[in-house]
Chains A and B, each alone.
Chain A
């Protein structure tokens, strides 16, 4: 998906698959574990493979990577739970539930996840993505819970937080869930509100619909460079555990299971407990949702983009240290940049590429993750090629960009194009494309493509993509991005290239 999107523009001859695999850290693909039946099947295969690999790798006696728990990777779900884990499971299992979204017409499940009780009256918290089918089409779905001891019943959706992927539910009939107690929240402020880094935490849920389980792992604080606060859990989370609680050794809620990286081992994510507490406070007396929630999703996404775009525009652009061009590259405050390039000794076109993407996409449904900003550029040096050959390659590179295709949620993009005078009068071809959401009428996806037009043997092409913006912010962001381009020095005459690199702008302290 996104990982491969990042590899798509790889230089000709690079097989996209190899590129992704050979750079194991690269794909920012974040997956939400719960899911649909198809997903689970896929996951099962992956899990089997992972187990096989772990077993095979064991005799090689590789040094354990820093931060990895002593338990054998990927096997922790199966066993190796400490005494604390047993105690926590025993204490918490009455408050642990499985949430199923069923198709009304055929009673087959469209997704499963986990949940836990947070009030004695039976309010329970899970992930938004566990109940997204219901939230978007309540007339076609219904929600049911199943407890560890086999109780079942219907659920109502009270409130949700699409940005942080949380939902608040309550049972239609509270009687069977009464008297089971509630999972306590860990105090969210004050000293000691956060567990120590490396502290054991215990994640509960029903992985792959196999059965309720407890998984042990390490607390690693907030995941870095995530715009939306997300806890990094050094343990294994599998599909179906989404929405389950992650507890400290005293059985207090630290976070809610939400996602895991497939390209790593035991790199999982939790939603901080404070956000669940806020959702509970906001929604515990709400009337149950019976209509599609697009308007509320739109409201939350609008609030998200307002903050995100403000924060994005407030950070200065980072210097790309190119001798000729000033290129907008975002600070790595909440995005992650990957670079690549050709060997400078090549006979052909020499180019360098930078690709900055955000990890925290907002899950709306299986086919729509949104709310991120990504920025990319490629610089070209065709001094080995001559003007004609350079122009052919430079054009081809500008040709192969894909903008906003029509899909289930969005209509096809519309573009406007101009040659604009960027910083210092740098002539820049600018293509600005907008894409609209069918059911979120105030939101737009923005893509800006740029290509410098000042030289017959060098150039820079850039691309910014941002999803789910208000129109005003789309305008602001497009302008902000275009303003980031320019010459590094006073306009050189078109035929002479600056021989020496100007003093590079001070680099920000790396995070």
Chain B
């Protein structure tokens, strides 16, 4: 617009015609005040207009800041910028976070890890057909996962950032492979059931959250704080809810009753205990169990169940 006042509305004699059924024929007028700042006056409108959080009714008037005021008129949002106002800097084009070669290295490493996995699971001399579901299924799954995130990118960032999402997924899959090998092995090697339990209960959810976080930050880089807060809340709520449910139903925090991973003989570094120690270790179990049994019996009595 090159001249004041600027009139907004559905009638054809406005400076700016808004073709919107929720807009009045002469909805609002923008003028330049004596102080050099723009102001807005609402015309004969049923809906009025909204500036920031403030709603103006017909006939009301309000001064506007020099730059950045957003006017909601009917279903339209108009941002007001005066000729002299500073312009926001240019955004960089979305770049793949990992360059081509590195992506192929990640892919190769992951494929190697999966082949090793499958090799361990199959008996020696297994039919080649037994590799098929593995070799077809995993890449398909990965492609679908990355494709869905890329669609999200298309929606929010106007670019189908498949390779960026693939790099994120592959990097985290490799992290998972390493952690999933190291942590249970370490727990078994040193005889640390607590480490195994912590990893078994919370390791995978935590890794999952980190993967989703990376994908989301690729999608919505401006919303880092909100993403962190939302995921942390979900994770925390999950951990607390599982813990509480387990405590109520099982009388312990962890779902698994014992550590099932066994150390290889060469990696067994934990100490062995003499047999009588096992009997002694049962004493605290007895006390905890008797307490739980009393509580459960009392609960049954309260709920009217008189079964044994």
Chain A residues close to B by CB (< 8 Å): 136-137, 139-140, 292, 294, 297, 346-349, 364-365, 368, 384-389, 391-392, 394-395, 398-399, 401, 403-404, 406, 408-422, 425, 427, 429-441, 444, 449, 451, 453-456, 471, 474-475, 478-479, 482-483, 494
Q: Whole-angstrom distance from the CB of B130 to the nearest CB of chain A?
A: 12
B271 contacts which chain A residues (CB < 8 A)? 419
CB-based closest 10 A-B pairs: A348-B123, A436-B289, A399-B260, A436-B293, A412-B250, A416-B281, A475-B279, A438-B297, A431-B258, A421-B272
> In the assembled complex, how far is the CB of residue B128 from the closest CB belonging to chain A, in whole angstroms?
14
Closest beta carbon of chain B to A5's beta carbon, Å: 17
Given A415-B258, A420-B274, A427-B272, 19 more A-B residue pairs with CB atoms under 8 Å apart are A136-B307, A292-B306, A364-B308, A384-B124, A391-B262, A408-B307, A413-B257, A414-B285, A418-B272, A418-B277, A421-B273, A421-B274, A436-B286, A439-B308, A456-B264, A456-B265, A456-B266, A475-B282, A482-B278
Cβ contacts under 8 Å, A386 to chain B: 124
10 contacts between A and B (CB under 8 A): A389-B124, A394-B262, A411-B296, A416-B282, A416-B285, A421-B272, A427-B268, A434-B286, A441-B294, A475-B279
Residue B208 is within 8 A (CB to CB) of chain A in the complex:
no
B interface with A by C-beta (< 8 Å)? 120-121, 123-126, 191, 193, 249-252, 257-266, 268, 270-279, 281-282, 284-286, 288-290, 292-294, 296-297, 300, 306-308
- In whole Å, how far is A296's beta carbon from the nearest beta carbon of chain B? 12
Q: How far is the CB of B261 from chain A (nearest CB, A)?
A: 6
A414 touches B252 (CB 8 A): yes
What A residues does B191 contact at CB under 8 A? Answer: 418-419
Of the candidates B249, B250, B268, B282, the one whose C-beta lies within 8 Å of that of A478 is B282
Chain A residues within 8 Å of B249, by CB = 406, 412
- Report the separation of the CA atoms of residues A453 and B270 in the bound assembly, to the nearest whole angstrom: 12
- Would A430 and B260 count as touching, CB distance under 8 A? no
Chain B residues within an 8 Å CB radius of A394: 262
Given contacts A436-B290, A474-B282, contact A403 B257 (CB under 8 A): yes
- Chain A contacts for B272, CB-based, 8 A: 418-421, 425, 427
Q: Which residues of chain A are within 8 angstroms of B126 by Cβ–Cβ distance?
A: 347
A394 to B261, CA, bound (A): 9
Q: Residues of B contacting A410 with CB < 8 Å?
A: 293
A455 to B264, CA, bound (A): 8
CB distance from A333 to the nearest CB of B (A): 25
**Residues B265 and A455 in contact, CB atoms below 8 Å apart:** yes
Closest beta carbon of chain A to B275's beta carbon, Å: 6
| Closest partner residue, chain B, to A293 (CB atom) | B308
Whether A432 and B125, one on each chain, are in contact in the complex, defined by CB atoms closer than 8 angstroms, is no
A438 and B282 form a contact (CB under 8 A):
no
Contact of A385 among B123, B261, B307 (CB under 8 A): B123
User: Given the complex, which residues of A lie within 8 Å of B290, measured CB to CB?
Assistant: 436, 441
Residues from chain A with a CB closer than 8 A to the CB of B250 are: 406, 412
B308 with A294: CB separation less than 8 A = yes
Neighbouring B residues of A409 by C-beta, 8 Å = 307-308
**Docked CA distance A414–B282 (Å):** 9
Instruction: Establish whether residues B265 and A433, one from each chain, have CB atoms under 8 Å apart when the complex forms.
Output: no
In angstroms, how far is the closest chain A Cβ from the Cβ of B294?
7
Q: With A365-B307, A412-B249, A419-B273 in contact, do A441 and B286 touch (Cβ < 8 Å)? A: no
Residue of B124, B125, B268, B285 with most partner-chain A CB within 10 A: B285
Please state if B282 and A421 are interface contacts (CB–CB under 8 Å): no
With contact pairs A394-B262, A395-B261, A412-B250 given, residues A136 and B123 touching in the complex (Cβ less than 8 Å): no
Asked if B282 and A453 sit within 8 Å, CB to CB, the answer is: no
Determine how close the nearest CB of chain A comes to the CB of B184; give it in whole angstroms.
9
Specify which of A387, A432, A434 is in contact with B289 (CB 8 Å cutoff): A434
**Smallest beta-carbon distance A445→chain B, Å:** 10
In angstroms, Cα B257 to Cα A417, docked, is 10
* Shortest beta-carbon distance from A309 to chain B in Å: 14
A368-B308, A456-B264 in contact; A432/B292 too (CB < 8 A)? no
Q: Which of A399, A434, A483, A494 is the one whose CB lies under 8 Å from B275?
A: A483
The contact of A411 among B120, B251, B257, by CB within 8 Å, is B251
In the complex formed, the residue of A with least CB distance to B299 is: A438
Known: A403-B257, A414-B288, A414-B289. A432 touches B278 (CB 8 A): yes
- For B281, the closest partner residue in chain A by CB is A416
Check if A411 sits within 8 Å of B292, measured CB to CB: yes
Q: Which residues of B contact A392 (CB under 8 A)?
A: 120-121
Q: Which residues of A contact B261 (CB under 8 A)?
A: 395, 398-399
Are A140 and B306 interface neighbours, CB within 8 A? yes
- Residues in B neighbouring A399, C-beta threshold 8 A: 260-261
The residue that A494 contacts in the complex, of B265, B288, B300, with Cβ under 8 A, is B265
Chain A residues within an 8 Å CB radius of B276:
479
| CB nearest to B122 among chain A residues | A389
Q: A387: nearest residue on chain B (CB-CB)? A: B264
Bound-state Cα–Cα, A321 to B110, Å:
45
Asked if A416 meets B293 with Cβ closer than 8 Å, knowing A364-B308, A399-B260, A494-B265, the reply is: no
| Residues from chain B with Cβ under 8 Å of A419 in the complex | 191, 268, 270-273
Closest to B116 in A: A388
CA distance A348 to B272 in the complex (A): 31
Chain B residues closer than 8 Å to A436, beta-carbon distance: 286, 289-290, 292-293
Please, which residue of chain A has its CB at the minimum distance from the CB of B263? A453
Q: Which residues of chain B come closer than 8 Å to A456, judged between CB atoms?
A: 264-266
Tell me the minimal C-beta distance from B253 to chain A in angstroms: 12
Closest to B124 in A: A347
Alpha-carbon distance A71/B270, docked complex (angstroms): 66
For A403, list chain B residues within 8 Å (CB): 257-258
Taking a contact as CB atoms under 8 Å apart, the answer to whether B275 and A421 are in contact is yes
CA–CA, A440 to B290, complex, Å? 10
A residues in contact with B262, CB < 8 Å: 391, 394-395, 398, 429, 451, 453
Q: A137-B307, A431-B258, A454-B265 are in contact. Are A478 and B294 (CB under 8 A)?
A: no
Query: Contacts of B286 on A, CB cut-off 8 Å?
Result: 434, 436, 444, 471
Minimal beta-carbon separation of A454 from chain B (angstroms): 6
The CA of A74 and the CA of B271, in the complex, are separated in Å by 61
Q: Please, how many angstroms separate the alpha-carbon atoms of A366 and B294 in the complex?
A: 22
Whether the Cβ atoms of B275 and A479 lie closer than 8 Å is yes
> Chain B: which residue is nearest A442 at the CB level?
B290
Q: How far is the CA of A403 from the CA of B252 in the complex (A)?
A: 14
The answer to whether B279 and A395 touch across the interface, beta carbons within 8 angstroms, is no
Question: Is there contact, CB below 8 Å, between A417 and B193?
Answer: yes
Tell which of A392, A403, A453 has the most Cβ of chain B within 10 Å. A453
B306 contact set on A, CB distance < 8 A: 136-137, 139-140, 292
Establish whether residues B121 and A430, one from each chain, have CB atoms under 8 Å apart when the complex forms: no
Minimal beta-carbon separation of B281 from chain A (angstroms): 4
Question: Is A453 within 8 A of B293, CB to CB?
Answer: no
Question: Is there an interface contact between B273 and A365, defined as CB atoms closer than 8 Å?
Answer: no
Choose among B271, B284, B308 the residue with the greatest number of A CB atoms under 10 Å from its CB.
B308
CA distance A436 to B139 in the complex (A): 48
| Whole-angstrom CA separation of A494 from B289 in the bound complex | 39
Verify B124–A438 contact, CB threshold 8 A: no
Query: CA–CA, A419 to B190, complex, Å?
Result: 10
